[in-house]
């Protein structure tokens, strides 16, 4: 097995300071993984056991520290739209074209938005992509319902003729 690469001079002191300044548990543990190797000469397997990690993770942190320095300790937040086709602002600009139609009380058909989206993107997308984009921008489907779908006009007229309220008024 090859001998591990040594860290720069003064690393131990700097790591002590960084551990005190750590803002999260994850950041602290990453610093600690390097500190344990430098200060106590522990192996990655022993460090992993102490931190309840996998030895490969410890080796990756050591490697990242040698390549990037202190930037290796900064943990980026998770989440986000990593596979987005258009940015949020680009989507908003695309939907603004259809805002005039909806503002005048017109009906917006999703197939029209889908066609504009595909033209801007240069490739086909499923309809669900467009619906998710509309939901992301708080567009919702508001359809006026002039009457209940199960309404029976014959029964309503018969009720008006037999009801006490309507029959007394005549």
Q: Measure the CA–CA gap between 128 and 125, rounded to whole angstroms.
A: 8
Number of residues in the chain: 170
Distances (CA, A) of 89 to 81, 84, 93, 147, 169: 13, 12, 6, 39, 60
Q: Measure the CA–CA gap between 67 and 61, rounded to whole angstroms.
A: 10
> Taking a C-beta distance cutoff of 8 angstroms, is the pair 160, 166 a contact?
yes
**Kind plus residue range of the DSSP H or E element containing 112:** helix 110-121
- Residue 82's pLDDT is 83
- Residue 82 tokens read as 């990593």
Residue pLDDT, tens place only, 136-170? 998 877 767 788 878 888 988 888 888 776 655 55
- Residue 34's pLDDT is 95
Q: Measure the CA–CA gap between 7 and 62, rounded to whole angstroms.
A: 9
pTM for this one? Answer: 0.49
- Residue 166's pLDDT is 60
The greatest distance separating any two alpha carbons of the chain, rounded to the nearest whole angstrom, comes to 104
Residue pLDDT, tens place only, 47-100? 999 999 999 999 999 999 999 999 999 877 778 888 899 999 999 999 998 877
User: Which residue bears the tokens 């086909």?
Assistant: 124
- Residue 119's pLDDT is 95
Residue 26 reports pLDDT greater than 80: yes
pLDDT band at 132 (very low <50, low <70, confident <90, very high): very high
- Residue 9's pLDDT is 87
Among 151, 119, 117, which residue's Cα sits nearest to residue 134? 117
Residue 118 reports pLDDT greater than 80: yes
């Amino acid at each position: 097995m090859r001998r591990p690469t040594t860290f720069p001079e003064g690393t131990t002191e700097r790591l002590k300071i960084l551990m005190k300044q750590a803002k999260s548990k994850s950041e602290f543990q990453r610093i600690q993984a390097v500190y344990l190797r430098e200060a106590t000469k522990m192996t990655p397997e022993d460090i992993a056991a102490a931190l309840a990690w996998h030895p490969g993770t410890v080796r990756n942190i050591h490697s990242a520290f040698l390549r990037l320095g202190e930037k290796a300790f900064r943990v980026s937040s998770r989440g986000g739209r990593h596979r987005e086709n258009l940015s949020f602002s680009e989507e908003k600009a695309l939907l603004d074209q259809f805002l005039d139609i909806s503002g005048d009380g017109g009906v917006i058909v999703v197939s029209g938005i889908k066609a504009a989206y595909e033209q801007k993107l240069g490739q086909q997308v499923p309809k669900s992509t467009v619906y998710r984009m509309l939901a992301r921008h708080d567009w919702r489907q508001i359809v006026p319902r002039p009457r209940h779908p199960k309404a029976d006009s014959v029964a309503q007229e018969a009720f008006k003729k037999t009801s006490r309220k309507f029959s007394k008024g005549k």
